[in-house]
Amino acid sequence: MPQVTPIYGPTNPTPTQAAKASVKYYGSVIELKPEMEEKYRKLHSEVWPEVTAAIAKAHIRNYHIFVAELAGKRYLFSFFEYTGTDSEADFAGMAKDPTIRDKWWPLTDACQIRLPGTPTNQQWLAMEQVMHID
Amino acid sequence: MPQVTPIYGPTNPTPTQAAKASVKYYGSVIELKPEMEEKYRKLHSEVWPEVTAAIAKAHIRNYHIFVAELAGKRYLFSFFEYTGTDSEADFAGMAKDPTIRDKWWPLTDACQIRLPGTPTNQQWLAMEQVMHID
């Protein structure tokens, strides 16, 4: 991935342009273990306040997770906006939050199957943007 | 789909709650013909002004399309926000726009493979939301 070279233009900013924007958009995907779907849904219907606080502290907002079945497998799709100025530091800070690191992610990771091609330091696989219209 | 009953709560609004919110969120998916990917990317890197105008007129904003490969197939993922008060009328109005109906959609539909389970009056298959954090 990608099989095709990215094409940028007025309605698909280059990574450099996107990095300079005040809001940055992240879309990513991971497989969902069917036998864990009910647990995953339950957890995400009432995300713990410590977790939502850590998300807000990391300047992440408008955070959606969707589920869909494709060719007989269940997948989760995540979309969020980042409004800070140092995503590396903010995401690392969130990853060090004790509730997230030691309690929340162990529960959610156990529901997921990482996809081929996902970098070793990431859980979810980034999707590539092909269009953005404000 | 869904194999599992939806679970709603503080971080996953019911459809009734979501319908009452001032901003409504739509996530959807469709398969992409690999041989049409370059054409699809080119079209979406410079969406025609008539098309972006019709999207804005329909009260659709923050419209992203992503691409990802899952189990050897290419898929497109769409995410947008709707800020109007009558989505049925607004989406129907967009579908009647001559540029969209007669020129844009014939081009983009030819790049896509509708997924099993997609209602006959829709091109993309809606994904189900499992979490939303503002």
Q: What is the ipTM of this complex?
A: 0.95
pLDDT confidence of A2, banded at 50, 70, 90?
low
Q: What is the pLDDT of residue B131?
A: 98
How do beta strands A73-82 and A24-32 pair? antiparallel
Q: What is the pLDDT of residue A3?
A: 63
> How close, in Å, is residue B112 to chain A by CA atoms?
14
Q: Which residues of A touch B57 (CB under 8 A)?
A: none
Region B83-108: mean pLDDT is 97
Helix, strand, coil shares of chain A, percent, nearest 5, are: 35, 30, 30
* Average per-residue pLDDT for chain B: 96
Phi, psi of A48 (to 5 degrees): -60, 145
According to DSSP H, which parts of chain B are helical?
Answer: 15-20, 37-45, 49-57, 87-96, 98-99, 105-109
Q: Which CATH architecture has domain B22-126?
A: 2-Layer Sandwich (3.30)
Q: What is the pLDDT of residue B111?
A: 98
Region A11-40: mean pLDDT is 97
pLDDT confidence of B4, banded at 50, 70, 90?
confident
Interface of A with B in 78-97 (CB under 8 A): 79
- Using one digit for the tens of pLDDT, what is the confidence trace for A53-102? 999 999 999 999 999 999 999 999 999 999 999 999 999 999 999 999 99
Instruction: Identify the burial level of A30 via C-beta atoms within 10 angstroms of its C-beta, where 0-12 means exposed, 13-18 middle and 19 or more buried.
Output: buried
Q: What is the pLDDT of residue B3?
A: 63
Nearest to A38 among B4, B40, B74 (CB): B4
pLDDT higher than 80, residue B35: yes
Region B69-97: mean pLDDT is 97
Q: Within a 10 A sphere around the Cβ of B110, how many other Cβ atoms?
A: 11
Our measurement of the distance from residue A125's CA atom to the centroid of its chain's CA atoms, rounded to an integer in Å, reads: 8
Q: In percent, how much of chain A has pLDDT > 90? A: 97
Residues A132, B10: C-beta atoms closer than 8 Å: no
Q: What is the pLDDT of residue A109?
A: 98
Q: What is the pLDDT of residue B79?
A: 98
Q: Which residues of B touch A67 (CB under 8 A)?
A: 2, 127-128, 130
Residues A130, B67: C-beta atoms closer than 8 Å: yes
Q: What is the pLDDT of residue A4?
A: 81
